Amino acid sequence: MQFIASYDAGRGQRYYLFGAGSDFAQIVGWYKTMLKQRGELIFEEPPVHMFDIGKFKEETMAFPPSVTVKDYTWAGSLGYLNPKRGATPERFKTIVQIVPNPPGAPK
């Protein structure tokens, strides 16, 4: 995977985007193994799978701590365009969004 960018999510949180040349099923399978959980298929079309990695506290967090995997080749799409001009790959098959636990939050 390649780091794409990070964004301010609000309330002291950031989220991070990574692009992968591997297909959706491979990435989801890897996270199932590494996180030792099944996660949840949030959408079937386009496929989006989410893994919770912490407790969501609405009063202090903007987003639940999680790993979200999205298929960008669904329905014949060419993939997520690499925002870095001239970089390889030109497009990513899968995008992973990671929202870590905020500093000091219980895991």
- Whether residue 65 is preceded by a cis peptide bond, meaning omega within 30 degrees of 0, is no
pLDDT at 60 over 90: no
Q: Are 21 and 97 in contact (CB under 8 A)?
A: no
C-alpha distances (whole Å) from 92 to each of 29, 75, 95, 97, 101 are 17, 15, 7, 13, 26
Could you give the CA distance from residue 18 to residue 38 in angstroms, rounded to a whole number?
Answer: 20
The tens digit of pLDDT for each residue in 7-23 reads: 998 888 999 999 999 99
Q: What is the pLDDT averaged over residues 71-80?
A: 96
The tens digit of pLDDT for each residue in 85-103 reads: 999 999 999 999 999 987 7
Tokens of 63: 């987003």
Query: pTM (2 decimals)?
Result: 0.91
